[in-house]
Structures are given as structure tokens and as C-alpha cells.
Structure 1
Amino acid sequence: MTLDYKKIAVLGFSPRTGLEVVKYLLNFDVNIIVSDAKPKTELEDLISQLDDEKIEYDLGSKGSKILESELIILSPGVPYDLEILKKAREQGIETISEIEFAFRQSKAEIIAVTGTNGKTTTTELLAAMLFDLNGQKIKAAGNIGLPFISIIKDLEEGEKVILELSSFQLEAVKDFKAKIAIYLNYSPDHLDRHQTELNYKNAKKNIFSNQNSADYALLNFDDPYLYQLKDQLQSEVIGLSFKRKEADLIIKNNQAYYKKDKINLLDFSTINLPGKHNQKNAAFAALAAYTVGQSIEKIQQAAENYKLQSHRMEIINNSSGYLIVDDSKATNPDSTLKALSSLDKDIILIAGGQDRNADFSKLKQVVNDRVKILILLGEAADKLASLFKENEIEIIKVKTMEAAAELGAKRLRQDRALLLSPACPSWDMFSSYKERGEIFRKTVLKYID
């Protein structure tokens, strides 16, 4: 593989994607500009991993150095609409995502997964189902934590790869093409980055870019936006649903039934995945695995053996036998809606976090129906309290997760469930949703056990 460029810029020197792109470029006779708004003192660890005279650093600046390049490769955290990137495009400098660049460098066959929620669970399930496909182990990369660019050297032409793709990764693709594109669900998110819902929709829709009638689009027919999207696609659409009779795969009576081949792809009675949303995630993975030739037996076995990652509807075992659920990964209202709908007890809900101007109104009815005590914290606490003040529930605002978890633990009883499902990102108070979940777990167990 060759590169027809003399100078390439990498914008966003992140420890995962940015670093891996630079490492890949060092295999070619090309000069590299590494640009980041952070100063050199904050990036010394990354710089120490690279030692090459072909690299020119532009750190702690507005990135004007990238205008000297012929191609700009963006890390996912870099918005496509930055002024310096607009200027670059005006000058005829192409700006693309790492996913697009890796796609151009690889001849692998792509199974792509996107959606507002459930991407990682579906990607992991699909990877487990394809762990042994005719003697091959199919790799998973992308938003799941492994940059696509870091594995392309190991991929043979035509070999399959699973990519979890966020809107950040999809907004700057051009030639990218997936053999199978999976779109799980849609709800407005990341509007602080994309500015408008239309921009977010368009970024996500890029997963179907360049597909044709020989490719597949797997869609959630229970999602109104995705249902109407089916008529706009060039690929063969396969719909999944709990309720629409025209769907190709129907989830009913604990079975995922694929009408085309008159076969049950999954038997959920032996699969431990909480909530209908996770049943649908598993059905998407099963359908994709079946489409590429995996056996029903291996698909079912993988689903039965799969365990959700921590902080995703994770049940916290405790000596009192209470139902305590850590769903700290619920960083938007739609995730919390699914969590609330999946529990069959009255709920003590801990919610709130970074305020990204999300629309919480869809939570109003289910909170009114299911929640008895609402414990709020973080930037969005006042907004949430105002939304639910007319509901006949007890609302308590606290300053810390420790206080929220202690209060929830003390008010817990056998006929109630304690659920951490914030409906907001964690960045206002924590380094990540994982830290938020760990503090919740440790504090709750201190007062329960």
C-alpha cells in the first residue's frame, strides 16, 4: 500500500486514535504534522512513544500548521466544522476521519454498527457470535476502543471486520462503504457537538454511504425515524421489530424469528439479557452473524455466554437481596427510558449529570408511572426537578454521588429497585461514567452490606 501525499496532518493527538494514525503513517515516505490544542507538556507521554524526524509538532495552537498539508486526518474528538478545517477545505485540502482513512487503506469487508444506544453491546455480541466463522476470528474495532487503523495491517483482502461507529467517526467519511450497516435506534444526542439534530441525523446516516443493492441495511422498524428511512436507502433493507408485521425479523414469545428462512435465530428463554432493548440488540447481532454464514448453534451459544459490560444495567449483588442496578452508562434520556421500562418494581431513581440541552420530556410519563423517589444531582438537577415537579413523586436534590447512593440505600426495601440511570453524561462531576458507577457501587454496598 502506498500514499500519494507528501505531507499529511493528524489533528487531535489522542492516546488512542491520533497516536495510532501517526504510527501507521510512519511506515510510509510522508512528512507528518501532528496538531493539538493541548500544550506539549500535556502530551509528553505520547510524544515519547514516537521518535522520527518526519514528525513536525504543532501543539498548544489553533492548528494553522495543518494548512501546509495535503490531507488532514481527524481524531473522533475533533469537530468537522472547526474554522481552521473550513479554511482548509476552502483551500482544497481534504479532511477525513480516521475511519475513512483506514477504509481507504484496507480491503476488508465491513460490518458497521451505529445507533444512539446499544452500539457496544451489539458489537460485542456480534464479535462473540463470529469468534469462529469457518475457522476465522472476526475482529471488532472502532468506537469500542480499538482504532480501525491499528488492525488493518492484519486484515486480508475480503476478510470481515466489525466496526462500532459513533456520529463523531461518521461525520467525516466519503468513500466509506459497509457490506452490512446496522442502525439500532435513534434519539437526539451530542447536540453540543453537532449543533442541530439534522447534523446529527446526517452524520449517523453516513453509515449507509455508497451502499448498493448488493449490500444490507439492518433497521429497527419500531423506531419511527428509522422506519421512514428505509425508503431512502439503496441497499437491501432488513427490518427488525417487536410489533410491525411487515418486519423481516419478529421478536415475539421469547424468539427472534426470521421470516425469510422460517427459522428462529435466538431463543431468549436461555439468554440472560435484561430489557427488551437488549433482546433487540442481540437480535441485530444474530441477524448479521446469520447473514454472513454463521450457524444458529454458534449464534445461540454466544448469546447465552455473553455478559453485559459493567455499568450497563449491571445488577449489584448484595447480602440483603435487594435489586440494585448500575446503569451509569445511560448518558442520554433514551437509555434511561429503556432502563426504567425494563424493571418490574417501583423505582428509586438516581439521575442527573452534565447538561447538554437534552430533551428529557419523553421521560415524564414513565417516571410518573414507575418512580417513587427521584434523587437528582449534577448540572441538570434543577432542570429535571422542574420537569417532574408536578408528578406525585418525592424529589430530592443532592450534591454528591455518595450522598445520592447513601440516601437511595437507606430508602430501599424489597418491593423497590434502586436504579442509577443518569440520562446525562458524567463529565460535570466525574472523569467518566465508569468512575460515577464505581462510586455508586461502593457507597451503596457500604450501607447495604
Structure 2
Amino acid sequence: MTLDYQKIAVLGFSPRTGLEVVKYLSKFDLDIIVADSKNREDLRDLIAQVDSVNIEFDLGSNGRQILESELIILSPGVPYDLEILKTARKKGIETISEIEFAFRQSEAEIIAVTGTNGKTTTAELLGAMLSDLDGDQVKVAGNIGIPFISIINQLQSGEKVILELSSFQLEAVKQFKAKIALYLNYSPDHLDRHHSEDNYQKAKKNIFSNQKETDYAILNFDDPYLLDLKDEIKASVLGISSESKKADLLISKEEAYFQQEELKLLDFKKIDLPGEHNRKNAAFAALAAYLAGQKIEKIQRAAENYKLQSHRMEIVKNSKDYLIIDDSKATNPDAALKALASIEQDIILIAGGQDRNADFSELVPLIKEKVKILILIGETAEKIASLFADSKLEIVKVTTMEAAAQIGVESLSGDKALLLSPACPSWDMFSSYKERGKIFQENVIKNID
């Protein structure tokens, strides 16, 4: 593989993507500019991993040295609309994402997964279903935590790779093309980054932009936005639905049935995945795996053996056998909505977190119907509480997760469920959704015992 450039810039020296891009570029005879708003001291450990005479660091500044390059590769955390990048494009310097760059360097066949929620679960399920495809293991990369660029040297021409893709990664793709593209669901998200819902939609739609009629696009036909989107796609569109009999793959509580070929792809009676949304995630993965050539029995077996990651509708085992659920990964209203809908008991809900200008109004009807006590934390506590000003719902606002967990446990009984499903990111109070969930679990167990 060759690179026909003399100087390439990497903007955003992140521990995963930025570092892996720089490591890859270091193998070529070219000059590299690494730019980041952080200073050298903050990035000392990363710099030590890529010590090379061909690397020029532009740190803790406005990054103008990238304007000396011929190509700029962005880490996912770097917005495409930065002024310095607008200047670069006016100068004719191409600006692309790491996903786009890795795609150009690889001849692998891509199965791509996007959506507002459920991407990781679906990508992992699909990876499990394709773990033994014609004797080859299909790798999973992308937003799941493994940069695509870090595995391209392990992929032979035509080998399949599964990529979980966020709007950040799709924002700056140009030639990228997936053989099979999955769009799981849509709700407005990351508007602090994209500035408008239209920009968010455009970024996500890039997953289909270069597909041809010989490729596949799998859509959620129960999602009105995605149902309308099908007419814009050049690829062969397959719809998944639990409501419409016109869809290609029909989902019920018992099975996922592929109408075109009169096949039962999944028997849900043997699969332990809570909630309709997770059955739909499994159905997406199953259809993609089948289209990729996998046998039905291997698809079913993988689904039966799959366990959700921590903090995704995770049952917290406790000495009193109360139903306590850690869904800290629900970082937007739509994810919380799905969690609420999946629980049959009355609910004590812990919600709130970083304010990212999300619209919480869609949660109101279901919360009024199913939630008996609403415990609110974080930056959005007042905003969410204001939506229930005319309601008799019991609302408690606290400043720590420790207090939220204690109140939740004290209010809990055998006929109620305690649910942490914040509907918000965690970064106002925690380093990650994982830390938020961990603190919740620890304090729930402490207060029960």
C-alpha cells in the first residue's frame, strides 16, 4: 500500500483513533503534522508512543500548521465545521475522517452499522453471528472502541469487516461504501456538535451515499424517518418491522421471520434479550449475517449465547430479588423511552445528566403512565422537572448518584422496579456512563444490604 502525499496532518491526537492513525502513517516515507488543542505535557504519554523524526507537533495552539499539509485526517471528536478546517478546504486541502482514510487503504468488504441507539449491541451480535464464516472470523471495529485503521493490515482483499459508525465518524466520509449498511433507528442527538437536526441527519445518511443497486440497506420500517428515507437510497432496501406486514423481516415476541425466503431467522423464545428494541437489534444482526452468507443455525446459536454489555438494561442482582436495572448507557431520550417501555411493573426512575439540548417531551406520556417516583440528578434536573409542573408525579431532585440510589432503594418494593435510565450523557458528573452505572450499582447494593 502506498500514500501519494508528502505531508499529512492528523487533527485530534486522541488515545485511540489519533494515535493509531499516526502509528499507521509513520510506516510511510512522508512528513506528519500532529495537531491538538492540548499541550505537550497533557499528551506526553501519547507522544512517547510515536517518537519519530518525521512527526511535527503543533500542540496547544490554533492548529494553523495543518494548513501546510496536503491531507487532513480527523479524529472523531473533531468537528468538521471548525474555522481552521473551512480555511483548509478553501485552500484545496482535503479533509476526511479516519474511517474514510482507512477505507481508502483497505480492500475489505464492509458491513456498517449506525443508528441513534443500539449500535454497539447490534455490531457485537453481528460479530458473534459471523465469528465463524467459512472458517474466517469477521472483525468488529469503529465506534465500538477499535479504530478501523488499527486492523486494516489484518484484512485481506474481500474479507468482511463490521464497522459501528457514529455521526461523528460519518460526517467527513466521501468515497466510503458499505456492502451492507444497517440504520437501526433515528432520534435527534448530538445537536451540540452538529448544531442542527438537519446536519445530524446528513451525517448519518452518508452511510448509504456511495452504495449501488448490488449493495444492501437494512432499515427500521417502524421508524417514520427511516421509512421515508428508503426512497433516497440506491441500494436494495430491506425493511424490518414489528408492526408492518409489508416489511421484509417481521418481528414478533416469538420470532424474526424473513418473508422473502419464508425463513425463521431467529427464535426469540430461546434468546435472553430484554425489550422489543433488543429483539429488533438482534433481528438486524441476523438479517445482515444471513445476507453475508451465514447459516441460520449459527445465527441462532450466537444470539442465544450473547450477553448484553454492562450498563445496558443490566439486571443488578441483590439479596431481596428486587428488579433493579442499570441502563446508564441510555444517554438520550429515545434510549430511555425504550427502557421504560420494556418494563411491566411500576417504575422508580433515576434520570438526568449533562444538558445537550435534547428534547425530553417525548418521555412525558410514558413517565406519567409508568413512573411512580422520578429521581432527578445533573444539569438537566430542573429542565426535566419543569415538564411535570401540572402533574401529581412525585419528583425528587438530588445532587449525587449516592443519594439517588439510596432514595430509590428506600422507595422500592417487590411490585416496583428501580431503573437508572438517565436519557442524558454522563459528563456533567462522571467520567463516563460506565462510572455512572458502577456508582449506581455499588450504592444500590450497599443500601439494600
TM-score normalized by the length of structure 2: 1.00
Instruction: Report how far residue 390 of structure 1 moved.
Output: 1.9
Q: Paired residue for 1:446? A: 446
- Which position in structure 1 is the counterpart of 2:141? 141
Report the RMSD for the aligned CA atoms in angstroms.
0.5
> Would you say 1:131 and 2:131 are equivalent positions?
yes
- 2:436 match: 436
Q: 1:218, 1:250 → 2: CA distance? A: 13
Partner of residue 223, structure 2: 223
Q: Distance in 2 between matches of 1:388 and 1:448?
A: 29
Secondary structure of 1:260 counterpart:
helix
Q: Which amino acid aligns with 2:269?
A: S
Taking the aligned partners of 2:119 and 2:130, their CA distance within structure 1 comes to 16
CA distance in 2, matches of 1:391, 1:69: 58
Q: Which amino acid in 2 is paired with 1:78?
A: V
Name the counterpart of 1:54. Answer: 54
Runs of 4+ in 1 over 4 A off after TM superposition: none
Q: Give the 5 Å matches for 1:255-266.
A: 255-266=255-266
Displacement of 1:253: 4.4
How many residues in Structure 1 have an aligned counterpart in Structure 2?
A: 449
Residue of structure 2 in register with 1:102 after alignment? 102
Post-superposition offset of 1:389? 2.4
| Alignment partners' CA distance in 2, 1:205 and 1:50 | 35
Amino acid at match of 1:55: I
Unaligned runs of 5+ residues in structure 2 are: none
Question: Match for residue 325 of structure 2?
Answer: 325
Q: How far did 1:391 drift?
A: 2.4
1-structure distance, mates of 2:73, 2:219 = 30
In the TM superposition, what whole-angstrom CA distance separates every residue of 1:99-151 from its partner, at most 9, and x where no partner exists? 00000000000000000000000000000000000100000000000000000
CA distance in 1, matches of 2:359, 2:52: 48
Instruction: Determine the structure 1 residue equivalent to 2:336.
Output: 336
Whether 1:91 aligns to 2:87 is: no
Residue 119 of structure 1 is matched in structure 2 by 119
| Letter matched to residue 38 of structure 2 | K
Structure 1 residues 253 and 48: alpha-carbon distance in aligned structure 2, compared to 1, 3 A threshold? closer
Please give the alpha-carbon distance, in whole angstroms, between the structure 2 residues aligned to 1:86 and 1:74.
13
From the superposition, tell whether residues 375 and 199 of structure 1 become closer, same or farther in structure 2 (CA, over 3 Å).
Answer: same
Query: What does 1:393-412 align with in structure 2 at a 5 Å threshold?
Result: 393-412=393-412
Unaligned runs of 5+ in 1: none
User: Partner amino acid for 2:223?
Assistant: D
Number of the residue aligned with 2:189: 189
- Give the letter aligned to residue 53 of structure 2: E
**1:127 partner letter:** G
What secondary structure does 1:40 align onto?
coil
Deviation at 1:50, TM superposition (A): 1.3
Deviation at 1:254, TM superposition (A): 1.0
Q: Give the match's secondary structure for 1:202.
A: helix
Alpha-carbon distance in 2 for matches of 1:25, 1:341: 47
Distance in 2 of aligned mates of 1:390 and 1:413:
27
Q: In 2, distance between residues paired with 1:253 and 1:426?
A: 32
Q: Which residue of 2 aligns with 1:25?
A: 25
Q: Which residue of 2 aligns with 1:311?
A: 311
Q: Deviation per CA, 1:250-276, whole angstroms, max 9, x where unpaired? A: 002411000011010000001000000
Counterpart CA distance in 2 for 1:353 and 1:166 is 21
Other-structure match for 2:237: 237
Are 1:270 and 2:270 an aligned pair? yes
Counterpart CA distance in 2 for 1:423 and 1:139 is 31
Q: Which amino acid aligns with 2:394?
A: E
Cα separation, 1, equivalents of 2:155 and 2:50: 24
Give the letter for the 1:135 counterpart.
G
C-alpha separation between the residues in 2 aligned to 1:180 and 1:307? Answer: 24
Determine the C-alpha separation between the residues in 2 that align with 1:154 and 1:383.
Answer: 48
Shift of 1:245: 1.3
Query: Structure 1 residue 153 and structure 2 residue 157: aligned?
Result: no
Counterpart position of 1:365? 365
Q: Which amino acid aligns with 1:160?
A: K
Partner of 2:298: 298
